[in-house]
Amino acid sequence: MTSAFQLREARANDIPALASLHVNTFNETHRGGRSGGPSYELREQQWREAFGRPACGWFCYVIEDDRRELVGFAKGTPHDGGVPGYAGELNKLYLLRRVQRHGLGRLLVCAVARRFVEEGVNSMLLFGDANSPSNGFYEALGGERLVSDSGEFHGGYGWRDLGALITRCCGA
């Protein structure tokens, strides 16, 4: 791929593009590219609400291509404590299919991990789909499968040491 990509923190003026990207990436990931997932209007409302309360500890990074179009994003939030031992949550991680497998997911995960560490958060988890093809990606980054008390895997991954994740995914 010859495009140049730029990672940056999301801004409120990104809301329309972010809502559109969220719809497209969700449909690519969870609906095989078919429409029918959450609507643009819903995603725009959700992002407007999020940007309306920035003091809640969440943050978002976006990646834009050489045409300055958003092609991926990752959102970090404080973890609500539902799974003990983790303080941060990689709440969203989406890339357009056409830009996957070029290191951009790794770039986003690393940016979220670095931000958490800067804020004194040293562990992170994510909740995904147990059958997702992305699971190999999380495992390659050292994510540990989170299993229920009965030993079932439901798609969650955790990193208890974000310093180790940062070293693994983006160098020291």
Question: Based on the structure, what is the number of domains in the chain?
Answer: 1
Mean pLDDT of 52-61: 87
pLDDT: which is higher, 26 or 123 = 123
In a domain, 133, yes or no: yes
Model pTM score: 0.91
Mean pLDDT of 139-147: 94
Average pLDDT, the chain: 90
In a domain, 64, yes or no: yes
CATH code assigned at 11: 3.40.630.30
In a domain, 166, yes or no: yes
Q: Residue 100: pLDDT above 70?
A: yes
pLDDT of residue 2: 41
Q: What is the DSSP string of 24-42?
A: HHHHHHHSTT-S-SS-HHH
* CA atoms of 26 and 7, how far apart (whole Å): 20
pLDDT of residue 169: 81
The confidence band for 57, taking pLDDT boundaries of 50, 70 and 90, is confident
CA neighbor of 67 nearest in space, from 21, 2, 3, 1:
3
Domain that holds residue 111: 6-170
Q: What is the pLDDT of residues 58-93, one digit of tens each?
A: 999 999 999 999 999 999 999 988 899 999 999 999
The phi and psi torsions of 171 (rounded to 5 degrees) equal: 80, 165
In a domain, 1, yes or no: no
